[in-house]
Amino acid sequence: MRTVTWDYTHQQVKMIDQRLLPGEFREVSFTRYEQVADAIQTMVVRGAPAIGASAAFGMALAAQTSSASDIQEMRADLAAAGEVLRAARPTAVNLAWAVERMLEAAGDPGIDDVRSLQAGMLDLAQRIADEDVEINKRMATHGANMMQENEVVIHHCNTGALATVDWGTALGVIRMAHEQGKHPHVLVDETRPRLQGARLTAWELEQYGVSYEIITDNAAGYFLSSGKVDRVLVGADRAAANGDVANKIGTYMLALAAKDNQVPFFAVVPTSTVDLKIPEGKQIPIEERNQDEVLNIEVKGEQVAPGGAAARNPAFDITPNRLITGIVTENGVVYPPFEMNLHQAVRGSQC
C-alpha cells in the first residue's frame, strides 16, 4: 500500500498516518491543500520523497478546489498554495522540488483553460508519485548489488516505504538485498526523539521478514568499534552539490564513528534530493522543531525531564562529504570526488 495516494472517487488526498504506527494503521483523507501542508508539518507523512509526492498532490488538490474562473486567476491560486506547502518543512528539498515542478507545468502557455489545468495538475502529481516508486527500485538494485551475504547493517531513522511513496531508499536497499536472498541483519537505531527507527523501521522490517534488533542511538559506536558491523546505510532530506548530506539528527555522529572504525558509510539519495543550487551542507536550512518532542518523553507513565526544563530540538544535522563512502542514486553509486560525480548523476536524470 502506498504512503500517499489520490482518491479518484472522492477527489481527496489519502495518507497513512505515521504518527500512529506501529500501534494502529489508519489512513486519513484531506480535501484542502492547507490540510496537506499541516499533515507534512505535523509528520502525518514524513521522509523527503513522500513529502515531495504529498506536496504534488496538495498542489493538485489546490487546482481541483480553486474557485478561479480564468486561467490567470487559477495560476495565482496555485502560486499561493505553493508558498503554503513549501513552508511546511524547510529542510526536505523534495518538497520545494515538487512544488516548483507543478508550478512550472501550470505556467505552460499551451494550457489556456481551467479544466485543462486541473487535469494536468492531477496527471503530473500522479506521475511524480509513480516515478518515485520506479526510482526507489532502481536505487535499491544498485545498493543491494554491492552488498554481500549476511551483512550486518546499521540503519538510522526510517527510509522505507513509509518515507517514500513506496519501496524506500536506504531501507529499500536492505529490502532488495533480502529479496535477493542475501539475509541482511539490521541494527535499528531508535532515532530519538520521535523514535522513527524503533516505531517505523522495525515495523516495516517485520512486514518484510528481515532480521533486526533495535539499539539505542548511542550504542551505535560500540557496535561499530566491535567489528560487528559491515555497513551503515542512511537516507537524506537534502544533499548539497559537494556531497554533504542533511539527514535525521544523529547521522553526523554515526558517520564519525563509522569513519573512525573504517566501516563503509553510504547515503541512499534520489537525484531529486540533490540540491545543486547549494554548494555545501552548511548552507542547508535546518529545521528546529518544538521542544515538547524532547521534553514530553515518558518512561512507565512518568515524564523524564523536570517540569521546568527547556530543550533544543534540531530535526537534522549535516554529514560532510569526507565521512561518506558513497552516495547511492537511481543512476548508480556515486563515489568521490562528489563535486564532479554527483553532478553527472543528476544530469543523467535530466537527459
Give the chain's domains with CATH numbers. Answer: 4-135 (1.20.120.420), 141-350 (3.40.50.10470)
Query: Mean pLDDT, to the nearest integer, of 26-53?
Result: 96
Q: Partners of 234 in the beta sheet?
A: 267
Q: Each residue of 203-245: pLDDT tens digit?
A: 999 999 999 999 999 999 999 999 999 999 999 999 999 999 9
Model confidence at 351, pLDDT cuts 50, 70, 90, reads very low
Q: Each residue of 75-108: pLDDT tens digit?
A: 999 999 999 999 999 888 899 999 999 999 999 9
pTM over 0.85: yes
Q: Each residue of 299-314: pLDDT tens digit?
A: 999 999 999 999 999 9
**Torsion sign over Cα 349, 328, 168, 314:** negative
Q: Each residue of 165-189: pLDDT tens digit?
A: 999 999 999 999 999 999 999 999 9
Cα(128)–Cα(41) distance, integer angstroms: 20
> How is residue 215 written as a grid cell?
539499539
User: Is residue 106 a contact partner of residue 138, using CB atoms and an 8 Å limit?
Assistant: no
pLDDT for 349 equals: 63
Is 153 a residue whose pLDDT tops 50? Answer: yes
Q: Which residues of 96-108 are buried (b: 16+ CB within 10 A; e: fewer)?
A: bbbbebbbebbee
Query: Mean pLDDT, to the nearest integer, of 19-33?
Result: 97
Residue 180: phi and psi, rounded to 5, are: -80, 0
Q: Cite the active site residues.
A: 237
Is 258 a residue whose pLDDT tops 50? Answer: yes
Angle at which helix 114-145 crosses helix 170-179, to 10 degrees, equals 60
Q: Partners of 298 in the beta sheet?
A: 303
Cα(78)–Cα(62) distance, integer angstroms: 6
Query: Mean pLDDT, to the nearest integer, of 15-33?
Result: 97
Model confidence at 350, pLDDT cuts 50, 70, 90, reads low
pLDDT for 94 equals: 92
Percent of the chain whose predicted confidence (pLDDT) is above 70: 99
245-248/238-240 β-pairing? antiparallel
